[in-house]
């Protein structure tokens, strides 16, 4: 305890997130859901963005489509933009999409192709749950 704090009868201040080292902060971030990590935590500040996109936290990427097709396409395009910046760290890509029209399938396939192309050099496993069928490539 700081002597000046003891003399005043006060407790030392509790540690804050800002006082944590990057490694410990990354360990805390590893407990978050991926969607929260990449879409919320990364937006808090520059340091949180830097730590939330560390290689060990982005090795396994999951994308789940929703019932709202427009939101699914927007999310897939966001994923592609993110993959262009961080895709070389991705080792495993897991994509799930429910049955949709042929036009929507083609649009999504184009975005998915871009995502796979970006991380192809580092990708070890690709799992697709598309339109009621499951496909896995790699270990």
pLDDT tens digits along 24-49: 999 999 999 888 888 888 889 999 99
> In this structure, is residue 5 part of a structural domain?
no
Whether 87 and 136 share a structural domain: yes
Whether 88 and 138 share a structural domain: yes
How far from the centroid of its chain's Cα atoms is residue 100's Cα? 25
Cα separation, 11 vs 73, in Å, equals 52
Task: Summarize pLDDT for 42-101 with one digit per residue, the tens.
Answer: 889 999 999 998 989 989 999 988 888 888 888 888 888 888 988 888 999 999 887 677
Whether 46 and 96 share a structural domain: no
For residue 45 the two structure tokens come to 């500040």
Cα separation, 59 vs 96, in Å, equals 17
Can you give the pTM of this predicted structure?
0.73
- What residues make up the domain containing 90? 58-139
Whether 49 and 84 share a structural domain: no
> In this structure, is residue 31 part of a structural domain?
yes
Cα separation, 38 vs 36, in Å, equals 6
The whole-number pLDDT of residue 26 equals 94
> In this structure, is residue 41 part of a structural domain?
yes
């Amino acid at each position: 305890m700081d002597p000046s704090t003891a003399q005043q009868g006060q407790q030392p201040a509790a540690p804050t997130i800002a006082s944590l080292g990057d490694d410990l902060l990354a360990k805390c971030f590893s407990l978050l859901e991926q969607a929260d990590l990449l879409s919320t935590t990364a937006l808090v500040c520059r340091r949180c963005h830097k730590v939330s996109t560390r290689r060990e936290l982005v090795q396994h990427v999951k994308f789940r489509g929703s019932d709202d097709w427009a939101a699914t396409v927007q999310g897939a395009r966001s994923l592609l933009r993110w993959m262009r910046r961080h895709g070389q760290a991705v080792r495993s890509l897991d994509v799930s999409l429910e049955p949709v029209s042929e036009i929507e399938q083609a649009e999504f396939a184009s975005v998915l192709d871009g995502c796979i192309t970006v991380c192809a050099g580092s990708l070890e496993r690709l799992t697709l749950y598309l339109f009621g069928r499951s496909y896995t490539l790699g270990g």
